[in-house]
Amino acid sequence: MTDNIVYIGIGTNQGDKLKNINTAISLIDKIPSTGLLSQSSIYETKPYGYLEQDNFLNLVIKIKTSLVLKYLLKELQSIEQKLGRIKTIKWGPRIIDLDILFYNDEIISEEDIKIPHPGIIERDFVLVPLKEIEPDFIHPALNEKIADICNTFLSKQIICKIEYTNHNI
């Protein structure tokens, strides 16, 4: 089986945020035929879209998996449900949010998923962590390095980097 390289954005702004992140990463790492390769720092960020809510903690992880995209998406949605995510309003508060940002260098546009994630370039809480772990990755739709996109599109949602080490890696 071929290993796919996948980047996943993780965000949380409810409950014990660090615990939510660690639990999500641990569960992702336990998905069959999947392994964690790297993890960015964790960033405290301002809310995006709907502003009347608590700040978020965000990061990006890089995994390898032999799962096809649709099955990986189902696994991630299952993890969100296990952790108690309830979809309320668009961009609203959430206990955990797991977004597939890139799946290899593929461009996919289907009803239930778009790859690369369409919001990447507006979100420095995705771009900055991505730049930290993979600055030379080429965004397949824009044909530009993450580092160059990051330098162009920052919108100042990041408040600070959290000094925290995950011992799962």
Could you confirm whether 99 is annotated as catalytic? yes
Classify strands 97-103 and 4-12 as parallel, antiparallel or unpaired: antiparallel
Could you confirm whether 85 is annotated as catalytic? yes
Catalytic residue selected from 3, 54, 85, 124: 85
Catalytic residue selected from 3, 16, 54, 97: 97
For residues 82 and 43, what is the distance between their CA atoms, to the nearest angstrom? 23
Catalytic residue selected from 99, 105, 124, 148: 99
Catalytic residue selected from 16, 29, 54, 94: 94
Could you confirm whether 97 is annotated as catalytic? yes
DSSP sequence for 129-161? HHHHH-TT-EETTTTEEHHHHHHHH----EEEE
Q: Which residues are catalytic?
A: 85, 94, 97, 99
